Structure formats: structure tokens, C-alpha cells
Structure 1
Amino acid sequence: MVGLLGALVRFEVPLRRGIPAVSFCSPASSLLTRRLVSQRFGNNFHQQSVSMATRASAVDPRQLKLILFDMDGTLTLPNAIDFAKMKERLGLRPDEEVLATVKRRYSSDPEKMAEAMQIIDEVESEAAAFLELQANCREMLAALRAQRPDLKTVVVTRNSLKQLHHFVKVLGMDPVPFDALFSRDCFEPVKPEPHIVHHLCDKWGISPAESIFVGDYKDDLLCGRNAGGLSCLISSGCPDRENAFREFADAIVPGLQEFAHLLGLQLNVSVSSDPKEVGSATASTSASPSSSEEGT
């Protein structure tokens, strides 16, 4: 585990089949990639907002070659980060997004930028003590590696590199079940910009139409959509979240077990007394879009 975590480079964190740091790739034509998706999955694929049950057939797992996972609220339970407190300390309105506003406001003032990023880091560090994995997270990731070794799996978070390390430690899987991990310290621009998807697709020779971004917030879904790929919402059993972000999702599932089933994976699920393995739907039903609004 130590050796894997030590293999850090400037733009990305290679874990499994180490990929070198490269410059940002130029985004492919959004129109062209949307056409590729339409040709592969049907003309109404990005226009139809329907339930999870009828959307399951829209995502053909045989066509997928790349899965990008958000971290907070997707692989971990939502609401660990207190964004209300973070925004109050930063002097932001409740409806302002943290990173985008801070970078826009302090782009010409390095000292103020450093102070703001310190506040963000402090609030994120406070949340680290409460980080818990989504139910069946390890089982889903193990099944992906065992049953679909052809699939590239990546974590893309707007959280810090320090918190990404903490997540890997809590996950406790050796070898780490990802081909690469990206924090806001590793790659810019951050989601919802599609550059990270195009970067990986270019590096690995994958069409964006063969990728899917899995997350709990609209920026995760838009990152996949903007790249010309697919998007899957992890709702954690929250109807408000489903309703708020339905239009951005090509598939909606309540948790990681259902996402695994969407991919046709067989999970080895056992009942656990570990509080970090409590069912996500039960633990997170009250999680509204506004309470974990930034999504990292």
C-alpha cells in the first residue's frame, strides 16, 4: 500500500498500471461525441428522463471501457463535509459553489487565495473523521476487478490530495482497485469541465462514448455528459436528489450494489456489523441535494 501511495506525479496518481503525467488534452467536439453516443445507444439517449427501471437498458455494459467515480457521496456516504460552515467561513452565499467562486474571486490575489484554500482544507480535514464507505463499496470494486478486468476505473474528486489518501486508507484494499486517482491538486480544470475524461480517453485510446461518470451531484453527471459520455446518478435512496438531478443522468441507481447489477456484476455480499458498512439507502435517505450540494 505504501509503495502505491508513493507513486505520485503532478497531474495524476497512478496506482495500478502507472500512467505518466501528460499535459491536458484538447477536448473533442461535443457535437461529434454526442453523435457517437446517439449512434451507439439511440437518438433519444440524452433526451429522455425516465426511471431507473427503464433506464437500465440504456446503458450497455458491454460497450463501456472506462468508469470514473466521484468520491464523496458516491464511494463514501454523503454529508461528511459541512459545506454550510465552509461557505460561512469563506463569506460565500449558500447558492455559490466553493471552488469556482474562490478561484474567480481571488485569481489575482495569491495571498487571499491561499487563505481561502486553507479554510477549505480545514473543513475537509474535520470531515475526514466521519468518512464512511457506501454499502458494498469494496464488494463492487472487487467484482469490477475480478469480472471486468478490461474496464479502466478512476476516481475523480474535487477534494484535496490529502483527503484522497485518507479515502484510500479507509478503503483498505490492496492492491488499490483503481487505475488512477485525481484530486483538485492533480488536474485542472475540475469537473464539470470534461477535460479529465478527454485526457484519460486520449491516453488509453478510448472513445468518450465508451465512458461513464458515476456520481451523486450534477457536476459529476455533467462532466460525463459534457465529454460525450454517459452518466449515472447514485441517489442514496433520496427522492429529492433523484428529482433534482434526473435530467443530467442517463441512469439512476440508489447505491453501489444496484450499479454493480447495472453492469451485470455478481457481488459477494455478506452482512457486516461494521458501522462503516451500513446500508447507504438507510443511512442517507435524508440527504438532500443542498446538504451535500457541492459534491466532491
Structure 2
Amino acid sequence: MASAPSYPLRQRCFAPLSPAHKGTSNAPPLKGIVFDVDGTLCLPQNYMFSQMREALGIDKKVDILNHIRSLPTLEDQLDATNKIKAVEQQAMRHQEPQPGLVELMDYLQEREVKRALCTRNFETPVQHLLDNHLPAHAFLPIITRETPGLLPKPDPAGILHIASEWGLGNRGENLIMVGDSIDDMTAGHTAGAATVLLLNDHNGHLKEHFHTDLCIKRLDELINILEEGFVGHHGGNVDPTSD
């Protein structure tokens, strides 16, 4: 699927989900929410990346996925991928859910809001998290590093695929992307979606980024925001090309 052009700065708004406020807003309806996984649904496991680079024998400045793609043979790429999977499978045993995770998902289920995942994790640790912490909740589709034919974030292809699967003809215009990284914010913004940054000790510099529409400290903060109507800001003052 072709990538979308970058969208200009705009204030993103959605109508309230509360039945009591229906008809009180001219804002467009929210059609669904796309979530990142590591650092968003579960607490960050940033130590994985140094372990992955150590397993691959690469410097901390080298992008892991780009390194794997650059390897000369399919056998080399498969071997490197298996090393990454081994690190993720070990880390998944220590996954902890984000505060407010179940409360938010129960609310979205009650309000019949569609939910999907778009992550650079492999499928096994993603399913492990869902089975152990969200067994009563469905996410469709689930886009992982193993989904064929789709470039990973920050490319918007995964989010655009989700919008297409949901039958949305206006790309991501009626969606929200929730994540904790610049890749999440850029993928969401470029797909036309509103973006929500889940703050942690390492991503505060993204608060005022062009691609960040709203910031929260806990997932369940979204409940009141969506009940009363989502209103993002106009964009920050950080040049997105500087990252």
C-alpha cells in the first residue's frame, strides 16, 4: 500500500462519545483507535533494544530493522530475525500492563469503539500480552513486524491498512493513534489520524512536536477526554525533520 503524503498542521476534533452529549457537537465522529504495544499497552521494556543490538553486534546508533534488511542473504536476515525474536520472547515474560489499560479498554468496548494494534513487535509477545491482560477484548486487525507487505512505523502503511479494513474511505481522518514514540506520532499524523502521546520518563520532548495532538500520563485519562469530545492542539514548534 502506498504511503500517504504528510498532512499539514490542523486541530483535530471528534464528537463526544457520551450519549448525553450526542448532537451537541459538529465535530466528526470517532471511528476507531489504533494502539502501539510496547510502552503503550504495557510498560516500556527499553532494555530490549540494547540486548537486540548486542545480539546482532551492531552499534546503538544503528536502526535494527534497517540493519536486518541490509544483510546480504535471506539466510542472514532470518538468523538476525530469530535473534530479535529470542530477545522479545524472553522479555515478554516480564510484561506489565500500563496503569488504566483495562479501564480504558472496558470503556471503549462499552462505547463500541473499534480497536486495532500497529506495532513493530513480533506477533508472539503481542499475543502474550493480550492473552494475559486483555483476554476479554478483541483487536482487529493486528499489524506486527511480521505482517507481510506493510512497511513498519514511522511509515503510515499499517494505519492506512487498518482504516481500509474498517471500510473508511478517508484514510485515517476518523482515527486516533495512541503511542509513546516519535514513530507512532509520525505514522499517525502522516496517515491523517489524530495522535495521542502516552508520556514516560524518556519522551517528554515530544509534547510539542508537530505530530503530537494530545498528551496523557495514564491510558484511562482518555476516558473523560473521549466522553466530552476529543480536542487536539494546532501542533508544536519542533521541526519534524530534526528527529
TM-score by length of 1: 0.66
Inter-partner Cα distance in structure 1 for 2:206 and 2:126: 27
Higher helix share: 1
After TM superposition, give the deviation of residue 81 of structure 1 in Å.
Answer: 4.8
Residue aligned with 2:60, SS: coil
State which of 150, 158, 171 in structure 1 corresponds to 2:133. Answer: 171
State which of 86, 100, 104 in structure 1 corresponds to 2:66. Answer: 100
Inter-partner Cα distance in structure 1 for 2:61 and 2:207: 16
Match of 1:249 in 2: 212
After TM superposition, give the deviation of residue 246 of structure 1 in Å.
Answer: 3.5
Residue 183 (structure 2) pairs with residue 219 (structure 1) = yes
Match of 1:159 in 2: 121
After TM superposition, give the deviation of residue 203 of structure 1 in Å.
Answer: 2.8
Percent identity over the alignment? 26
Inter-partner Cα distance in structure 1 for 2:204 and 2:218: 12
Inter-partner Cα distance in structure 2 for 1:161 and 1:194: 19
Q: 1:131 to 1:61 in 2, by over 3 A?
A: farther
Q: RMSD in angstroms over aligned alpha carbons?
A: 2.1
1:1-296 map, 5 Å:
25-28=1-4, 30=5, 34=7, 44-45=10-11, 58-62=12-16, 63-79=29-45, 81-103=47-69, 105-106=70-71, 108-147=72-111, 149=112, 151-174=113-136, 176-187=137-148, 188-206=150-168, 207=170, 208-236=172-200, 238=201, 240-244=202-206, 246-247=208-209, 248-264=211-227
After TM superposition, give the deviation of residue 233 of structure 1 in Å.
Answer: 0.5
Amino acid aligned to 1:89: A
Residue aligned with 1:177, SS: coil
Residue aligned with 1:129, SS: helix
Q: 1:113 to 1:153 in 2, by over 3 A?
A: same
After TM superposition, give the deviation of residue 59 of structure 1 in Å.
Answer: 3.8
Inter-partner Cα distance in structure 1 for 2:226 and 2:163: 20
Unaligned runs of 5+ in 2: 17-28, 229-243
Residue aligned with 1:199, SS: helix
Q: Is the 8 A contact 1:161 1:185 kept in 2?
A: yes
Q: Deviations over 1:109-151 (max 9, x none)?
A: 111111111110111111011101111211110110102x1x2
Amino acid aligned to 2:107: A
After TM superposition, give the deviation of residue 260 of structure 1 in Å.
Answer: 2.3
Amino acid aligned to 2:14: D
Q: 1:201 to 1:44 in 2, by over 3 A?
A: closer
Amino acid aligned to 1:183: T
Inter-partner Cα distance in structure 2 for 1:110 and 1:120: 15
Inter-partner Cα distance in structure 1 for 2:49 and 2:2: 32
After TM superposition, give the deviation of residue 77 of structure 1 in Å.
Answer: 0.6
After TM superposition, give the deviation of residue 84 of structure 1 in Å.
Answer: 1.0
Unaligned runs of 5+ in 1: 1-24, 36-42, 46-57, 266-296
Inter-partner Cα distance in structure 2 for 1:192 and 1:61: 27
Q: Deviations over 1:65-123 (max 9, x none)?
A: 121100011010112652112112212221222112221x21x4111111111110111
Q: Which moved more, 1:220-229 or 1:193-202?
A: 193-202
Inter-partner Cα distance in structure 2 for 1:61 and 1:74: 24
Residue aligned with 2:103, SS: helix
Q: 1:152 to 1:261 in 2, by over 3 A?
A: same
Match of 1:12 in 2: none
